[in-house]
Amino acid sequence: MGIFDRFKTVVSSNINDMISKAENPEKMLNQLVLDMNEQMIESKKAVAMAIADEKKLEREALENKRQAEDWEKKAMLAVRANRDDLAKEALVRKQEYEGYAVQLNTQWQAQKDSVEKLKVSLRELQNKIDEASRKKNILIARSKRAEAQDKINKTMSSISGNKSAFDTFERMSKKVDELEARTEAAKELEDATSGATLERQFAQLESSGGAGADAMLEDLKRKMLTQDAGSTAGGSGQAPAQ
């Protein structure tokens, strides 16, 4: 099983386990992203080991190639020294190292191709985890909105089912309306009454003031008539001057 197949298996297992436990969506999503990041770390370690193996194969292939070249030089040296027997042995050793180098080079090339594919898959996996992390925040926000709406719906349903509460509110509302109406009526009546009393008082003052003047005028007229009458009477009883 490859490292990414193992990653999918672990993540799928965690998802199924959390869903079966019916955990809170926020906790479930946070844990899921956390598990993804942990598996990503393990996947990076596995890829790093694959890269290390590739580098090792490359070094071994180059080393065997260098050994083959050294044995060829030794064979040349033996030929110059007229030691064909040593030259043959050196060429056999050269052939062996060349064979190792070819095999190792083939393995190194295969490992290199595999590592490149692993790197691409690792980048894709990282992108998917980053996308999952972004979606997690959106899903958590949506979950909270849905939870809040559910609470509101339950509260409204509970209130709607409790008719006595609404009836009580309705009765209290009518009582308050009646109390306000009585208060306004009493104030209006008080204002009207105090205004009428004030008007009557001014009317009495005006009427009493006018009657007094008429009476005084009548008294003055009677006094003047009396005086005029007395003056006329006195003048007629006096003897004329001789």
Q: What is the mean pLDDT of residues 161-177?
A: 73
Block residue for tokens 């180098």: 101
Does 177 fall in a domain?
Answer: yes
CA 76 to chain centre: 81
Q: What is the mean pLDDT of residues 112-128?
A: 92
Does residue 188 share a domain with residue 86?
A: no
User: Is residue 40's pLDDT more than 80?
Assistant: yes
Least reliable range by pLDDT among 26-30, 160-164, 165-169: 160-164
The pLDDT tens digits of the residues spanning 199-239 come to: 666 666 666 555 566 777 788 888 888 888 877 766 555 54
Band of pLDDT at residue 146, cut at 50, 70 and 90: confident
Domain that holds residue 191: 167-217
Does 228 fall in a domain?
Answer: no
Band of pLDDT at residue 196, cut at 50, 70 and 90: low
Quick one: pLDDT at residue 91? 95
Q: How many domains does the chain contain in total? A: 2
Does 156 fall in a domain?
Answer: no
- pTM of full prediction above 0.85: no
> To the nearest whole percent, how much of the chain has pLDDT over 70?
73
Quick one: pLDDT at residue 240? 47
Does 18 fall in a domain?
Answer: yes
